[in-house]
Structure 1
Amino acid sequence: MAKQKAGVERPPGMADVARVAGVSAQTVSRVLSDHPNVQDKTRAKVLAAVDQLGYRRNNAARMLSSGRSRTIGVVTLQTNFYSRAAVTSGIEHAAQAAGYTVSTATTTSLDTSAIEGALSRLADQGAEGIILSVPLIHTSPRIEQLTRATPTITIDGSRTDATEVVAIDQTLAARLATQHLLDLGHDTVWHVAGPEEWLEAAARREGWRSTLEEAGRPVPPPLEGDWSPGSGYRNGLILARIPDVTAVFVASDEMAFGVIRALHELGRRVPEDISVVGVDDIELAEYCSPSLTTVAQPFARMGALAVAHLLRLIAEPGAMPEPASVEPQLVARASTAPAKGGGAA
C-alpha cells in the first residue's frame, strides 16, 4: 500500500498500478477505459496489478476522461415484495458482469410526477441507460422527453414512445394456473387479483377470465388484493365461507400464503377441499404447508435480459428491437388436487 509522507496509508493510485505492471500510466488508463488498442498480454499485466494493489477507479474521473459513466439506472417502487427485489438482484448481477454499476432511484408511488423525479435523478447522475422497473400506468410529456434522451427499457409491460419492453407473459401465467385447475376437474376457478392499477395484475385477471370463458365455465367475481399476505388472508376468510369454492388462482405467492392460512383456520383443507395456485415461485413457496403449486417467473433471467437489451440500445441508439417476452412455467406441488367426485379432465 502506498503511503503519504506522514506515514498514513493512502489508497493506491494509477501511478502505483503502472509501476507494478511495468507500463506507463497512459497504458493503465487505456486498459481501465476498455481501449481496444491494447495487447492482451499488457491488459492482463495491468489487471493483475490492479488486483494485487486493490486499486479502485475513481468513477468521477473516469467519466470526465471517457465521457461515459458505465452506470445503469433503475427506477423501482419502494416495497418489500419479493418480486421487486428479485428482479433488481438479477439486474445488478448482469450489470456487474458487463462492467457496469447500478444506481437505483426508488419511488414511493406510481404517480407520473414521482416517476418523472426518479428518471430525472438518474439522468442527472449520468446514467448511460435506465431500466424502468415499475408499471407505467400513465405517461406524461416529461417522461416521454426523459426516455427519449436516455436509452430506457421497461420491464412491466408498459412503455413510452421511446422505450423498449422486456416482459413476462402475465396473461399466459394466468392461463397456465387456471387451466391446471380446470384439468383437475374443478368446475370453475375463483381469483384473488392484484391491485387494478398494476398492469401485471390486469393481465393475470384477463388470462384467468378468458380461460374460463373459452372453456364455457362460469366466471366468479374476482376478489381484490394488494399483493400482501394480509390481503390474501382477508380474502381467504371470504372464500372459506362460500361452499361452492373448490379452486382458487391467487395473483401472487405472498397473497396465496394468506389465503391458505385463512382456509386452514376456518376448517377448509388444502388441497382436499380447495386447491390453491399462486404466481412467482418465491423461495418459500416450496416450504409452506402444503407446498404451493405456482407459476414460476424467471426474475433473474428477466433482469439479465433487460440489461442485455439496454446495453444494445446504448450501443445502437437508433435500434428498436421488438418487445421481448419471457414465458413463465407452471410448478405443480401439493396445494392442488383433483376435485372431489371428479378427476383430471
Structure 2
Amino acid sequence: MVDVESQEDEALKANASQRKHVQMRRVLSRMISKSAEGAKLPTVRELMRQYKVSQATADRSLQDLEDAGRIRREVGRGTFVCRRPALMRFVDIVFFEDLSPEQQAQHGFHSKILLELGHLLGDRGAGLRVHSLGQHLVDASLLEGLIFDKKMTHVVLVNARDMLASEILKREEIAHLSLFTGVGETLVNTMQIDNSRVMSLALDHLVELGHRQIGYLHWVNDIYYRDATQRREAFYRLMLERQMPFHAEWVQYGGYEPESGYEAACRLLDLPERPTAIVAGDEICPGVYKAIREKRLKVGEDVSVVGINDLTIASLMDPPLTSVRIARKRVAEMIVESFGQMAGKGKAVPAREVPCELVVRESAKQV
C-alpha cells in the first residue's frame, strides 16, 4: 500500500478555492510518481475518509488518472499504479506568450518549426496540437487541466518562464522538452540557442568586412527572455574582447516590430558619430532599411545590416539580408529524435544546442 504524506493532506485541505477533484487528482499523482509500477493505491473509501471528499470526487479523480494511463482499476482487487504507454499519438506544443495558437502558427520564427514538426509527425502517424498559456508564470491548475483534458503524453514547452511546468509534467510522467526556456541553464530535456555564437557570427563577419563602428538593436524589456538578454551581453563582451570602439548610444532597444526598429535605427543614424553597421533581429530589419533610406543612405554601401534568425523575409528584402540562421528545421528533427530517445531513458535526455550559421547575402559590404 502506498503511504500518504501528511503535507499532501495539508495541501488538499488548505486550497479550498480550487475544485476538490483537481486537488485530489494532484495528491494521487504525487503518490503515483513516488511508487513502483504495480503498487496498490488507497481505496475510494480510504480516500473519502482521509481527505474528507465525496465518493463522486474520489471517483472522478481516479477516472482522470485511468484515462491518462497512470492507473488501472480491477474489480474486486483494487487500483494499481501503471506507467504511461510510450506510443506517441500527439505532440502538444505549449507556448508561454500572449499569442493565440493561430498566431503562433503564423509567427515568422515559430511557424517554420511547427510546419516541419507537423510533417515529421505525420510521417509517423502522429499529430500536432498547439496551445497558448500567455506570458504569465505557470498556473498549475490551468496546465494540469489542459494535460488531463487533452490526455497529453508528449509536450514541448516554449519560452517557459520558470521550472513549475517541467516539474508538473515530470510528476505526471509525461515526456517533455523545454524549447528556448527563460530559466538559466538546465542539463536535461532542453533545447537552447548558443547566443554567444549567434552574436560572434554576426560581429566577426562585419569585422572581416572592415567595420569597427557597430550598433546593436536589442529586444530586452521588463519580461526576462534568455535569448534577448544573452545576446545583448554577448555583444558587449565580444566588442570588448575584440577591442572595438564602443559608445553606449550604439546599443538601442529595437523591440519586435518594424516600426520600433525604424525608430531605433533613426536614433542611431542621427548620432554625430553613427555606426557603419547595425545588427538586429530580422523582424525589425524592414524598419531599419526604411530609416537608412530616409537618411539618403544606401543599405550595404553606406550602412551594412546583419539580421538574426534568417526568417523568410530576409531573402525577399532589397537588398537581400545577410542573417544568422537558427536551424529551425533541425529543431523539429531534434524534438522527434529526443522523444524517441526518452522511451528508453526514463524520459530524460541531455540538453542540446540548436545549430546556427551565417547566411551571407548583400546587405553587408566592405567598408
TM-score by length of 1: 0.71
* Aligned twin of 1:249: 279
Q: 1:167 aligns with which of 192, 195, 200?
A: 192
Shift of 1:182: 1.5
Matches of 1:152 and 1:187, distance apart in 2:
44
- Cα pair 1:264 1:270 within 8 Å, conserved: yes
Question: 5 Å matches for 1:20-59?
Answer: none
Answer yes or no: is the 8 Å Cα contact 1:116–1:143 preserved in 2: no
Rounded to whole Å, the distance in 2 between the matches of 1:257 and 1:116 is 41
Deviation at 1:199, TM superposition (A): 1.4
Give per-residue Cα distances to partners, 1:181-206, cap 9 Å, x unaligned.
12211113211012342211122222
Question: In the alignment, is residue 184 of structure 1 matched against residue 214 of structure 2?
Answer: no
Query: Which of 195, 204, 210 is 2:237 aligned to?
Result: 210
Q: CA deviation at 1:162?
A: 9.2
Distance in 2 (CA, whole Å) between partners of 1:119 and 1:279 is 35
CA RMSD of aligned residues (A): 2.7
Aligned-partner residue type, residue 217 of structure 1? M
Q: 2:112 — aligned with what?
A: 86
- What amino acid is the match of 1:207? A
Q: 1:71 aligns with which of 86, 90, 114?
A: 90
- Aligned to 1:113, what secondary structure does the other structure show? coil
Assess if the C-alpha contact under 8 Å between 2:166 and 2:176 holds in 1: no
Q: What is aligned with 2:219?
A: 194
Determine if contact 2:257/2:283 at 8 Å carries over to the other structure: yes
- Larger RCO, structures 1/2 (Cα 8 Å, 6+ apart): 1
- C-alpha deviations, 1:242-296, integer Å up to 9, x for none? 242111110x211112111111112222112111100111122112111101011
Matched, 1:104 2:134: no
Unaligned runs of 5+ in 1: 1-61, 340-345
Match of 1:155 among 156, 176, 179: 179
Change (3 A) 1:311 1:122: farther
- Deviation, 1:327, is 2.1
Distance 1:249 1:69, change over 3 A: closer
Aligned to 1:316: 344
C-alpha change, 1:328 and 1:116, in structure 2 (3 Å) is farther
| Structure 1 match to 2:23 | none
Alignment check: 8 A CA contact 1:179 1:211 kept: no
Q: Which amino acid aligns with 1:74?
A: I
For 1:144, the aligned partner's letter is E
Paired AA for residue 156 in structure 1 = F
CA distance in 2, matches of 1:229, 1:114: 32
SS in 1 for 2:92: strand
Q: Does structure 2 conserve the Cα–Cα contact (< 8 Å) formed by 1:164 and 1:323?
A: yes
Q: Which residue in 1 is equivalent to 2:4?
A: none
SS at match of 2:366: coil
For residue 278 of structure 1, give the secondary structure of its aligned residue in structure 2. strand
Mapped pair 1:226 → 2:255: yes
Contact 1:144 1:161 in 2 (8 A): no
CA contact (8 A) 1:225 1:235 kept: yes
TM-aligned CA distance change 1:309 to 1:123, over 3 Å: farther
Matched, 1:329 2:357: yes
TM normalised by structure 2 equals 0.67
Please tell me the residue identity of whatever aligns with 1:282: L
Helix, strand or coil at the partner of 2:138: helix
Shift of 1:297: 1.4
Query: Post-superposition shift, 1:116?
Result: 6.8
8 A Cα contact 2:90 2:154, kept in partner:
yes
Distance 1:286 1:116 in 2: 43
- Kindly indicate whether residue 168 of structure 2 is the aligned counterpart of residue 145 of structure 1: yes
In the alignment, the residues of structure 2 paired with residue 261 and residue 93 of structure 1 have an alpha-carbon distance, to the nearest angstrom, of 36
Q: Is the 8 A contact 1:71 1:101 kept in 2?
A: yes
Do the aligned partners of 1:193 and 1:225 also contact (CA within 8 Å) in 2? yes
2:315 paired with 1:266 = no
Q: Which residue of 2 aligns with 1:56?
A: none
Pairs aligned (count):
273
The farther-off stretch of 258-267 and 89-98 is 89-98
| Higher alpha-carbon deviation: 110-119 or 316-325 | 110-119
- Secondary structure at the counterpart of residue 196 of structure 2: helix
**1:148 touches 1:162 (CA, 8 Å); kept in 2?**
no
